[in-house]
A and B are shown apart, each in its own frame.
Chain A
Amino acid sequence: MAIAAATLQEVQRHYGVVKNYIGGEWVESDSDQLLEVRNPATAEAIAQVPLSTPEEVDAAARAAREAFLEWRETPPVTRARYMFRLKAILEEHFEELARIVVQEQGKTIDEARGSVRRAIENVEVATGVTSLMMGYNLEDGAAANIDEEVVRQPIGTFAAICPFNFPAMVPFWFWPYAVATGNTYIVKPSEQVPLTQQRMFELIHEAGFPPGVLNLVNGAKQTVDAILTHPDVNGVSFVGSTPVAKHVYQTASAHGKRVQAQGGAKNALVVMPDAVLDKTIPNMLSSFFGAAGQRCLAGSVLVTVGEVHHRLVPKFVEAASKIKLGYGLDETAQMGPVISQKSRDRIHAYIQKGLDEGAKLLLDGRDAKVSGYEHGYFVGPTVFDGVMPDMAIAQDEIFGPVVATLHVDSLDDAIEVIHRSPYGNAASLYTQSGKAARDFRYRVQCGNIGINIGIVAAMAYFPFSGMKESFFGALHGQGKDAINFFTESKVVITRWF
């Protein structure tokens, strides 16, 4: 296989059989079911991942429950120091982690670095737990000489069920806050991308967290269901598709757990006639095609308002056609492959469906080929015009680099297009008008709103929001929402005789 001269070195060619990490020890799974982990750019197998059994989930939950007793009595300032240590270790291994992300997930190296940075940012915020976890009080709050206060306390053991698209980042939306506040944790990575967390947990081990505080269990549906129903797991965080998010939310809730389940999306980028096109187009490119469209924050529908359609679309298509596909370790590559052959086939089927339903295909990414990576799961940037709101490519989450362009007359019409979707993850408006922006952010029923920003990714100290079919639960990941999700308020009223 020819490798471009600018290609960075892979960390390892093959990673062997992935292990679980339970009670502070690496454990080979008892399961006889192994899946191949493949490099999406080459289709080569780079590891095997076990589909862990319910018994292994039980072992992790018991280890976490046992560790909780002592961990919750560890002062917050001490817990914060573990986070500081981990942050330093992650910075030392930053580039290595980014390259593993590229190898198993297909991102470009810059995208992968960005995602590792985001993971570390959550550790940074969690170091502030001494302030974040504070309660509040009021002397004589109940009556004269009777004081009242609220304290926040950890609850027990939580778990994260993670998607394939951000193997480094998504677990860190949750566990640093859970663990910093005194809980213990189980991470279940996607079985398609288990390697980054494997390495992360080696570094977590190096940081010296007490055994059982953090645990790693690999697997698929059976493993997930075991987590959702385990009596010693107090809460679950999930990121993935809406059908699975609903299953997770319903099942975990029925078993008495707290749940936050982030589902799918169909995000619209609305362009007004006064948008600054030479800044808007590059920003939209990164939204629609960054991570090969495999983000819950990716733009998916381009809504052009009024006459801007005729000025924007040709320039947008031309810019999209110049995006360079490649293996993410080639630093000049601007877009990588999608995660799997199955994903590529599904995206191709949606492109065909768009044609069948009468949309106009301006840029066709189906025949994308990358020299030296002929077996890779590449789909090139794809743009449709003349899309109607009820077409499948306008309604369904495709999770690939496919843009459906709808042309409307007004901002009101654009908002109506957004609201027809069952999803409510993100929406963006490109404009120079404060009035239009204010209307948009006020009225649009999506959890993450961008004004001249196409990827509305909340920083670690803000919640990652979501509404309607894009989120199930009351509290989101990251920031103060996370602190509240992972702790309980206890009211104490005190009188002394």
Chain B
Amino acid sequence: MAPAAPELTTFGALVRFAFDLEESARRLCERGAAGAKDERAQGLFHQLARDHSGRHALLERVRREQLNELILEPIHDLRGEDYAVGAEGLDGVTPRDLIGALRAEERRAERFYLDSARVAKSILAEVGRTFEKLGRQNAENERKLGALIE
């Protein structure tokens, strides 16, 4: 199930939503891999599923090691509804539609990470850098998925 609109009021809440995004993307990628007829597409879906799983582990490490309570400040600048993923059912969709849904996920995640990086950078610089890197990877993933249907 896609993540609902989150309340992004603390760093913990940000990371929790990031977990949900990665998990949602990973499941979609696995679904794409299971249904793909094309070897190239299947390979990409498997790789992206592994990447999203790895990113989940990275985020867990960020939460454990980089949230410094000395500079933990309340967050008011992020609107959860800007990143809420739609709850449209994906049963029976074509492979092309599934790729479209995945690309939309990657774009939303990119927006979320880059916006969160902007908020985090002045407070928890390491967290900000990590989020920026993740956002750039989302952009790259979106590009790779787009190449599948060109």
Contact = CB atoms under 8 A, between A and B. Distances in A.
* A and B from one complex: yes
Interface of A: 6, 91, 94-95, 108-111, 113-115, 117-118, 279, 282-283, 285-286, 290, 319, 322-324, 331-334, 453, 455, 457
Nearest to B15: A331
A282 B13 CA distance: 17
When A and B form their complex, which 3 residue pairs have the shortest distance between CB atoms, in order from nearest? A114-B69, A282-B73, A332-B7
Contact of B65 (A117, A282, A283): A117
23 contacts: A6-B6, A109-B12, A110-B12, A113-B67, A113-B69, A114-B68, A117-B68, A283-B73, A285-B73, A286-B72, A324-B9, A331-B10, A331-B12, A331-B13, A332-B7, A332-B9, A332-B10, A333-B10, A334-B9, A334-B10, A453-B71, A455-B71, A457-B69
Contacts of B73: 282-283, 285-286
Contacts of A109: 12
Contacts of B16: 6, 331
A285 B74 contact: yes
Interface in B3-21: 6-7, 9-13, 16
B70 interface: yes
A283 B71 contact: yes
Given A118-B69, A286-B74, A331-B16, A113 B64 contact: yes
Given A108-B12, A110-B12, A324-B9, A334 B67 contact: no
Contacts of A279: 122
Dominant secondary structure of chain A at its interface with chain B: helix
A114 B67 contact: yes
A110 B7 contact: no
Given A113-B67, A453-B70, 19 more contacts: A6-B13, A94-B64, A95-B64, A110-B10, A110-B12, A111-B72, A114-B72, A117-B65, A117-B68, A118-B69, A282-B123, A286-B71, A290-B69, A323-B74, A331-B16, A332-B7, A332-B13, A333-B10, A455-B70
A110 B67 CA distance: 8
B19 to A, nearest CB: 11
A359 B71 CA distance: 30
B59 to A, nearest CB: 13
Contacts of B69: 110-111, 113-115, 117-118, 290, 455, 457
Nearest to A323: B74
Nearest to A333: B10
